[in-house]
Chain A
Amino acid sequence: MRVYEEKRSLLVRIEGLPIIGVYCLLILVFIFTSPRVFTGYRIYMSFLQTVPPQLVIALGLTLVITAGEIDLSFPAVVAFSGFLFSYVYRTFGTPWFALAAALAGGALIGYANGILIARLGVPSIMATLAAQFFWNGLTTLLSQGLSWNIVTIRGQLIHSLFVGRIGGVVPAQAVWTLGIAVLVWFILNRHQFGESIMFIGDNVQVAQVVGINVVKTKISLFTFHGVLSALGGVLLTLEMANFWSTQGSGFLLPVMAAVFIGGTSIAGGYGTIVGTFFGMYIIGSLEAGVVASGIGGYWVRLVSGLVMAFSIILNISFKNKSIGEKWNKMLRSQAEKKRNKA
């Protein structure tokens, strides 16, 4: 057994390799098509500013999808948590309390989702769709559909801490989200909670037989995703110094696309944080890149679709008939032959 461990193809052991390849390729193409924009650092700094709110959400969604579930309610969480944040901040003037309120709001929505799905057995696609309408509606109702300016937040510590510019250049939110990505990677791949998520997504009967508390794990999972989505909402609100009642409504498809092109299995049981990380940056870079290439804004969606399809095909060909498994099978049959001869 030991002998073959080392021989396993290095290629499949690097998590998210295909998607990293796509990302590099994409940047190379952009450098070629619009060298002026893509050889400077500014465009990258702008990605690091715009992608993080969506990225935080995508990281949580990766866990949800790994568990074989789905969450469509995160756009509402972005709006609701942004509302709570700016409401508390405008009313009491305490940004940290506002942050706590926003995260608690996200946790509440996630917890409610979890109860519906895990305890009452409502399919997650329906439960979270209903939640999306409900919490979005509530936000519109409470904010009267208005947008609120919280520009005074720019002078506060919380602003420079979360969305300031490190050394006047690098957006702080990019560093925060990188840290969160590392943390979520460890949770998924090295923590009991993550292992439970993978087993539930893989085969819920097995999960029960081996003693995983499926209900509790699912509720925690949706709550966790609620908190991460709320953090995304806060980052967005802070960066803009503004809350508007439809904020986050455009997040649904890009965030889901990022998780899937990253290589996380739609069937559950397998999820890749590295894939989601690069997938989100690919989605976030496409629009700017295509426009800067000078072929015109009308091309953006078409090119996005092509890139997504390409990434997914690449992922599937890597995973299903992966070089590693072929290699493995070959080794097995050879060893078996040798043994039969002996």
Chain B
Amino acid sequence: MGESNTVREKYVYSVRMVNVDKYFGNVQALSKVNFEVRNNEIVGLIGDNGAGKSTLIKTITGVFPPTSGELYIRDEQITLSHYSVKQAHNWKIETVYQDKSLADKQDLWRNFFVGRQITGPLGFIKVKEEKRIANDVLLNMIGFRGAGISVDSKVAVLSGGERQGVCIGRAMHFDADLIILDEPTVALSLKEVRKVLNFVHKIKDSGRSCIYISHNMADVHEIADRFVVLDRGTIVGNIKKDDISLKDLSTFLLDYAHGLKETKNS
């Protein structure tokens, strides 16, 4: 698919799920979920462990099909039986996993292009070109400022935040329309979290959409345009950023958690 920025502006929704159910055997993981990400919107997906966040993401990325419901990507209805991870890639949906996206012992430039190398005849890699582009993307596209790091560095010397930066830069370079960040700031220091949030701002600035999954209200509140709260497979909150302050959002979630506890106990 050769679309570029022009196509990015044509559609209303990057992704839209309508009445999606997902069962694993008898267990209902998602129940009548209506979820959408608008074009160039950052959605914060919030929920406790086991709320169904990753199930929701995996239906979008084609890991498994929903049991019933409709899925639209860029306003086009998807035939669920034919939807796969590979197709999700073709639709330019990229997921950044915390620890499964980069190989530690390999050079940064290799990690950037692996699987999508720039090759000459006979499949040999054009190293200079790959290094130049990787360097350019990291410096200019996402404002990577890690001192002492070059594209020749091993990934092992990067900090957690820098790793996220590389992944986000990679997704942006390969023209992802929707970037899904799965708990990108878990186990990061405050300084590193700052870096990651800056990278996410770049996603927004470049006209792309993003689903940001997190436990941390402060992070989500800063970067997201809208918050979707998931609990035990159902969407219990769908709030625009302008309608709620960080404090109110936290209170809402806490109340919800307490409310649940009470119902569980009673």
A interface residue numbers (CB < 8 A to B): 1-2, 4-5, 8, 186, 190-193, 195-196, 198-199, 202-203, 205-207, 209-212, 265, 269-270, 325, 328-329, 331-333, 335-336, 339
Q: How far is the CA of A24 from the CA of B138 in the complex (A)?
A: 42
Chain B 107-143 near chain A by CB (<8 Å), digits 1 or 0: 0001000111101001111010000000100110000
B100/A195 in contact, CB under 8 A: no
Chain B 140-153 near chain A by CB (<8 Å), digits 1 or 0: 00001011111111
Which residue among A4, A8, A212 has the maximum number of chain B CB atoms within 10 Å of its CB? Answer: A4
A328/B148 in contact, CB under 8 A: yes
Q: How far is the CA of A8 from the CA of B152 in the complex (A)?
A: 9
Closest to B148 in A: A332
Q: How far is the CA of A266 from the CA of B175 in the complex (A)?
A: 37
Q: Which of B145-183 contact A (CB under 8 A)?
A: 146-153, 157
A2/B150 in contact, CB under 8 A: yes
A195/B105 in contact, CB under 8 A: no
B106 at the interface (CB under 8 A from A): yes
What are 20 inter-chain pairs, A to B, with CB distance below 8 A?
A: A4-B147, A5-B150, A5-B152, A191-B123, A192-B124, A195-B117, A195-B125, A196-B114, A198-B103, A199-B110, A203-B100, A206-B100, A206-B101, A207-B103, A209-B100, A211-B115, A211-B116, A269-B104, A331-B148, A332-B149
Min distance, Cβ B118 to any Cβ of chain A, angstroms = 10
A1/B139 in contact, CB under 8 A: yes
**Given A190-B127, A269-B105, are A335 and B114 neighbors across the interface (CB < 8 Å)?**
no
A-B CB proximity, top 6 nearest: A332-B148, A335-B147, A211-B115, A210-B115, A202-B103, A269-B105
A199/B124 in contact, CB under 8 A: no
B150/A4 in contact, CB under 8 A: yes
Chain A residues with CB below 8 A from B150, complex form: 1-2, 4-5, 8
Partner of B148, one of A4, A192, A210, A211: A4
Count of chain B residues with a beta carbon within 8 Å of a chain A beta carbon: 33
Min distance, Cβ A151 to any Cβ of chain B, angstroms = 40
A339/B147 in contact, CB under 8 A: yes
Partner of B114, one of A210, A265, A336: A210
B29 at the interface (CB under 8 A from A): no
B45 at the interface (CB under 8 A from A): no
Min distance, Cβ A104 to any Cβ of chain B, angstroms = 22
Q: How far is the CA of A198 from the CA of B110 in the complex (A)?
A: 10
Chain B residues with CB below 8 A from A210, complex form: 101, 114-115
Chain B residues with CB below 8 A from A203, complex form: 100, 103-104
A328/B153 in contact, CB under 8 A: yes
Min distance, Cβ B152 to any Cβ of chain A, angstroms = 6
Partner of A1, one of B102, B106, B135: B135
B97 at the interface (CB under 8 A from A): yes
**Given A4-B148, A331-B148, are A191 and B114 neighbors across the interface (CB < 8 Å)?**
no
